[in-house]
Structure 1
Amino acid sequence: MHADFLMSRAAEARPRPSLLADIGGTNARFALEVAPGQLECIRVLPCAGFATLQDALRAYLALPEAAAWETPWDAAIAVANPVNGDLLRMTNHHWQFSIEAVRREFGFARFGVINDFKALALALPHLAPGNLRQVGGGQAADAGTIGLLGAGTGLGVSGLVPSKGGWEALDSEGGHVSFAPASEREIAVLRFAWREFPHVSAERLMSGSGLVLVYRALAERAGLPAQAHSPADVIALALSGECAVCAGAVDCFCEMLGTIAGNLAVTLGAIGGIYIGGGIVPRLGSAFDGSGFRTRFEQKGRFAGYLATIPTFVITAEYPCFAGVAAWLRSSAGVGSIM
């Protein structure tokens, strides 16, 4: 009885965790923050495996490792979508939900939703140097504006602007700007894409499905039949050297991303550096470092010298978004935005 009593008192003393989530168009990543900066039970669930966000939440909380903790008292999720009002409909997935309805269903005292790349921007000050790989450029300016973009299921864009209180993260849907070609090859890709989409955004090409679209366009340009490759297939065949068209697609992808990153740098005046997240670039490893990305990044005519000094970094942390979600949840700005 004495042991049971001690166990009961220990359970009461242990604070209830916060539920954190990073919801993309392909995967839903969950974690419990049991103390500031201490994450437990990190799990990745496929979005396609669940009809709704609520179903995925229930499945996660039912896992033995999650159920072993006290029921989360608050929660915050980053979602690949604009966050305006209570009702959210995801751009690159079919899930839609009411923030307040989810809060009530799960009994959260607080429940907040933030754009995923805004959350990733908030995570940047918390990343260790070992979680970044510099690709060209000089030294980041202290307290200089920072730009962020990343290709995965879609193309996310954000940034950090210095303020008196530290940093202000930007809400942005910059992935949906119109794509601008910068070579004859890219003009051919754009003409191919126009046959399928009246508006070809940067995201149409700078994403997993976009990489396949680039591959198909270049196969046609080479007079070859396109195979039914997935984004992972294109990357694997490019890196192994087994498919010249796939290698060209990855090379083209990196150059186009360099143009877009350079555009972001001059738009924001991002002398604090440009950071690259998302799921695609980290998979390319050293092939990205040796690609035309950096040359294209600096290819801005009279502003080439300006861009040459701006460093670009690849984010290599496995789950970088959680730090930003947690920081936002704890901040006064995040609390004020929570339903």
Structure 2
Amino acid sequence: MASAGLIADVGGTNIRLGVIDYQSGEIRHIIKYRCSEFPGIEDAIRSYLNEVDEKLQEACIAIACPTGGDWIAMTNHSWAFSRSETKRNLGLESFNVINDFTANAMSIPTLSDKQKIQIGGGPADPLSPISVYGPGTGLGVAHLVNHQGRYIPISCEGGHADFSPISELEVELLSFLKGRFGRVSNERILSGPGLANIYEALCHIHQQPVQQYQPADVSAKGLSGEDSVCRQALAMFCQMMGSFGGNLALTLGAFGGVYIAGGVVGNFVDYFIASDFRNRFEEKGRFSRYCGKIPVYLITAEQPGLQGAAAYLRQELGYHLNAKSAK
């Protein structure tokens, strides 16, 4: 076994690569490429290896698509490849391919206190299950279980569970989106496109003209107060993030913590923390006190995907995971 391995975090736009030192857990030589610059993932990896000039025998790739079989086809990009062929072509002894939210889950045991912000609740129980979710292009969900010191990630498609409204306004929101999509999942609301969907629905409900806003426009104009409908959309987004997170906590008994990843919330962290998010997280009737004990953390690490791929690979090779690997 070599002393270091290759790690990568692959999204629809960019691929980030690095080298993980197995003993220290430190990640070095982080380089980002645009996926569009290469015909396939193998070409990007070869370019990276030529640039860093390291001979690596093991690899772990976190990628934004299903990873169950040998054939991997990206959801939001044209890259597709065979695990076995890529492993052979690159001369690797092992080639692990995991879902991007599996990587987010695996990053959690390595996070330092500086790489997360706690939003309410008590201390986390290190032996209890953990949930992680995050709005981006879609709504990712994964879980993590500590079994005798080994962390077992549980991949799922929880973002596609049915949206359940709480308030009368949310019932109207559901009715509008049901007319557009038929079935309404949480991803239709708790994502970048979902924020725009909330805005359009509120314009319809309030009989206001719809502006052609992108999700970033909705959040920016909501934060500035320039557009009152955008402001309301942002508030509702935070509230419904709380309800969904509380449901995850109840479903899994996530006393190890509920973690929020993804790019959307990072655009308005202070607003999110001050919003009704935590109230809605705990607003579970007879089980409000139960949820009140469960901590929520906002992941602020710059490279949680790479950190998680590194953690996954190190654990596969028998290394213990802890926050010392976080930089």
Q: TM-score, normalized by length of structure 1?
A: 0.85
Is 1:74 paired with 2:28?
A: no
Question: Counterpart of 2:302 in structure 1: which amino acid?
Answer: E
Quote how far apart the aligned CAs of 1:40 are.
2.3
Partner of 2:297: 313
Is 1:44 paired with 2:23?
A: no
Distance 1:38 1:238, change over 3 A: same
Structure 1 Cα separation of the partners of residues 203 and 53 of structure 2: 52
Question: Counterpart of 1:131 in structure 2: which amino acid?
Answer: Q
Which segments of structure 1 move beyond 6 Å, counting only runs of 4 or more?
A: none
The alignment-based identity, stated in percent, is 44
Contact 1:17 1:70 in 2 (8 A): no
Quote how far apart the aligned CAs of 1:51 are.
5.1
Partner of 2:322: none
Decide which structure has the larger Cα Rg and report it: 1
Distance 1:79 1:228, change over 3 A: same
Question: Counterpart of 2:33 in structure 1: which amino acid?
Answer: L
Structure 1 Cα separation of the partners of residues 199 and 47 of structure 2: 37
Quote how far apart the aligned CAs of 1:96 are.
2.7
Of stretches 147-156 and 74-83 in structure 1, the one that deviates more from structure 2 is 74-83
Quote how far apart the aligned CAs of 1:47 are.
4.2
Contact 1:16 1:69 in 2 (8 A): no
Match of 1:178, SS state, is coil
Is 1:118 paired with 2:102?
A: yes
Distance 1:25 1:168, change over 3 A: same
Question: Counterpart of 1:38 in structure 2: which amino acid?
Answer: E
Taking the TM superposition and a 5 Å limit, the aligned residue runs for 1:259-338 are 259-332=243-316
Partner of 2:20: 33
Out of 19, 41, 66, which is 2:6 matched to?
19
Structure 2 Cα separation of the partners of residues 311 and 331 of structure 1: 25
Partner of 1:156: 140
Distance 1:198 1:305, change over 3 A: same
Structure 1 Cα separation of the partners of residues 205 and 311 of structure 2: 47
Match of 2:9, SS state, is strand
Is 1:130 paired with 2:118?
A: no
Match of 1:256, SS state, is helix
Distance 1:251 1:56, change over 3 A: farther
Contact 1:92 1:154 in 2 (8 A): no
Structure 2 Cα separation of the partners of residues 19 and 142 of structure 1: 28
Match of 2:27, SS state, is strand
Quote how far apart the aligned CAs of 1:191 are.
2.1
Contact 1:25 1:153 in 2 (8 A): no
Taking the TM superposition and a 5 Å limit, the aligned residue runs for 1:238-257 are 238-257=222-241
Quote how far apart the aligned CAs of 1:94 are.
4.1
Q: TM-score, normalized by length of structure 2?
A: 0.88
Contact 1:25 1:92 in 2 (8 A): yes
Aligned residues: 317
Distance 1:129 1:185, change over 3 A: same
Distance 1:47 1:185, change over 3 A: farther
Structure 2 Cα separation of the partners of residues 251 and 60 of structure 1: 42
Is 1:221 paired with 2:167?
A: no
- Give unmatched runs, 5+ long, in structure 1: 1-14
CA-atom RMSD in angstroms: 2.3
Quote how far apart the aligned CAs of 1:194 are.
2.0
Contact 2:127 2:256 in 1 (8 A): yes
Distance 1:130 1:206, change over 3 A: same
